[in-house]
Structures are given as C-alpha cells and as structure tokens.
Amino acid sequence: MLKRLPYLFTWAIVAGLLLSNTATASILVDVAWLKKHMNDPDVRVVGVYKKGASFNKGHIPGSVKVDRAQDLRDHHEYPAYAMPRPEQFVQVMKRIGVDNDTTVVIYDDSYQFASRLFLVMEYYGHDLEKLKILDGGLTAWKAAGEPVSTEITTVSAKADYQPSAPHGELIATRGDIVANISRNSEETHALVDVRPKKEWDGTKVRAIRTGHIPKAVHHSGVDEFMDKQTHKFRSNDDLEFALAENGVTKDKTVYVYCQGGARAPHAYVAMKHILGYPDVRVYDRGWVEWANLTAMPVADEKWIFQTAQKD
C-alpha cells in the first residue's frame, strides 16, 4: 500500500487540475468550436459591442446584436445600471430569437461586454450549460482569418422566454458593502474595484467625486483580467495569485464593482466561472451610485471641482 501512495498522490493532483479547469471548459469556447457549431439550429451567436453602431460595420456572420446600453440596463432606475426588468429581458430574448433551450454564444469587440450579457442571462436563470463566451471575441475571430459580415441576420420566432425568479444572490447592493466591508467582516468578505487605474486614483473623473470605496482593493479589468493583445481571459494561475496577494481568496464572499456594472461582470465571470470562487457578487450600480450619494464614505476622496481635469 505504501508503494502505491506516490501514484495515488500523482493521480490526485491530475484529478484536481482537471476539476479546476472544468468551469473554463464549460463556459469559454474558441473559434474552432464556434465554427463547428454556429449553424446548429439550437445555437444563437450574439454580439455585444462597445458601440452598438459598430456591429453593423462588421460582425461574425449570422450573429445578432444586443445593445449594451439599451438592452442590459434598467432605465426605470437611477442610476440606469441595474439589471434589466424581467419584461425588458423577455423582449430582448424574443427579438434575438432565444428561448430557454437555446445555446447562446456571446462575443464582443473589446473584452468585457459579453460578460455583462452572460451575467444578465444567468441572473434570469438561463441554463449555464447553454451559456458560452467566445474567448477573445471578435479579436480572436479576425486573428483566425475568419470573415466578418455587414448583413443583418433575420431570426425565426421562438416561444416566449420564461425567466426564473431573479437570482439576487449574484448582485450586491451598497447596503451589503456598508454592512460587510465598510464596517467589519474583512476576514469573510472582500471588495474589488476593477476600474482602470486612472479612475481608481482620480486622474480621470467620471462622477461628482473621485477615489474609491474604503477597504476596496484594486485589480484593473483591463490590465489584470485580460490579455490586451488577444482579448482573452488571463491564465488561472496569474489571476488567482494576484488576487490572493490582496486578500481576495476563495473562502470569502467577494464583491466586484466598476463605474456602472459594464466591466465588473468580466471580473465576475473570471473569478466565479473560471477560477471557481464560490461566492462572487456584482455591485452593478457601482461607482456612479456610491460617489454621487455624497453621504457615502470615499477613500482618497477628491471632489470634481477640486480636480484640474479639463473637458
């Protein structure tokens, strides 16, 4: 039995590595996978571009558009960055020809907005086995030498989408942050600000105040969660090591935020569905809400009238 221990130990390591990559394999797909499945009748390819008009100038053939500003926000709320209401979500799914049985492959033309749609669909209960992100998005598609199209895709009608009750556990509120970050619970909770460095340190002003939420740690979505050249998610080891150094570990509830819920979902997908953090939540109202509610505390605070930034 003792002679077999090294072999058992080796197989345990291998099994652990395989399990750790399960989330990555099920969530991310590459260009080869997409080419093989994009014409399957139960697959819908969806583009979420930084600027909606850019979609019409060149997109993956056969894909349909979701507008990140119009379709993925609740315009009845202030700020308009919260999850869209159920009726709005159902209308978007109807327009793009998606029902509960559709496998949805999401891509974008930058690195982050595919993750916003992913979060919205997870929030309303879409089967995660039928929810994919094209790693590298349009950048990877073009790098592989694949063509783009300017033709508008016509989709066939499907049964109305039946959303589940919203998965509120995916979303954090400012009350959650006040209770578990600003006041206490540092051993059980962590807060990650994924805005670019210039927004974190106040060089770029996008609200009435600059700075960041007290006790937040900074991990730029642009610099740390993606490869700038390929627009693909960074490797597991790189991400997890950098996060752990700042106390963002898997045994904690992790809140992530950005300016207004468009970039934080990219970090959410990386942490929860690739690294395997069990409890990650997006503060989707983000810095827009926190900074403009002037009673909320701010670290390294500077008011807009104190900055030298020009329009």
Contact 291, 207 (CB under 8 A): yes
Residue 150 pLDDT class (50, 70, 90 cuts): very high
Q: 34 in helix, strand or coil?
A: helix
Share of the chain above pLDDT 90, in %: 69
Could you tell me which residues are beta bridge partners of residue 81? none
Per-residue pLDDT at 20:
40
Query: Which of 64-68, 244-248, 297-301 is the least confident region?
Result: 297-301
The tens digit of pLDDT for each residue in 32-45 reads: 999 999 999 999 99
Contact 267, 254 (CB under 8 A): no
Report residue 59 CA to chain centroid gap: 21
Per-residue pLDDT at 188:
94
Q: pTM (2 decimals)?
A: 0.89
| CATH, domain 171-306, list 3.20.20.70, 3.40.50.2300, 3.90.1640.10, 3.40.250.10 | 3.40.250.10
Q: Which residues of 205-226 are buried (b: 16+ CB within 10 A; e: fewer)?
A: bebebbbbbbbbebbbbbebbb
Q: What CATH number does the domain located at 26-164 have?
A: 3.40.250.10
Per-residue pLDDT at 171:
97
* Average pLDDT score over residue span 74-87: 86
Q: Which residues of 238-273 are buried (b: 16+ CB within 10 A; e: fewer)?
A: ebbeebeeeebeeebbbbbbbbbbbbbbbbbbbbbb
**The residue count for the chain:** 311
The DSSP string of 198-245 is: HHHTTSS--SSEEEE-TT-EE--HHHHSB-TTT-PBPPHHHHHHHHHH
The tens digit of pLDDT for each residue in 247-303 reads: 999 999 999 999 988 899 999 999 999 999 999 999 999 999 999 999 999 998 888
Per-residue pLDDT at 11:
36
- Residue 99, pLDDT > 90, answer yes
Measured distance CA(278)–CA(271) in Å, rounded: 9
Q: Which helix (H) or strand (E) holds 299?
A: strand 299-303
Q: Which of 94, 119, 75 is nearest to 261 (CA)?
A: 119
Contact 293, 113 (CB under 8 A): no
* Average pLDDT score over residue span 168-172: 97
Share of the chain above pLDDT 70, in %: 90
Q: What is the mean pLDDT of the chain?
A: 88
26-164 and 171-306 in the same fold? yes
Measured distance CA(194)–CA(263) in Å, rounded: 7
186 vs 35, more confident: 35
- Residue 17, pLDDT > 80, answer no
Contact 206, 271 (CB under 8 A): no
Measured distance CA(41)–CA(156) in Å, rounded: 10
Per-residue pLDDT at 77:
79
Q: Which of 212, 262, 272 is nearest to 67 (CA)?
A: 262
- Residue 311, pLDDT > 50, answer no
Contact 123, 83 (CB under 8 A): yes
Q: Which helix (H) or strand (E) holds 120?
A: helix 113-123
Q: Report DSSP state, residue 2.
A: G
Query: Which of 15-24, 121-130, 277-286 is the least confident region?
Result: 15-24
* Average pLDDT score over residue span 170-178: 95
Contact 141, 168 (CB under 8 A): no
Per-residue pLDDT at 308:
54
- Sorted by where each begins, the domain ranges of the chain are 26-164, 171-306
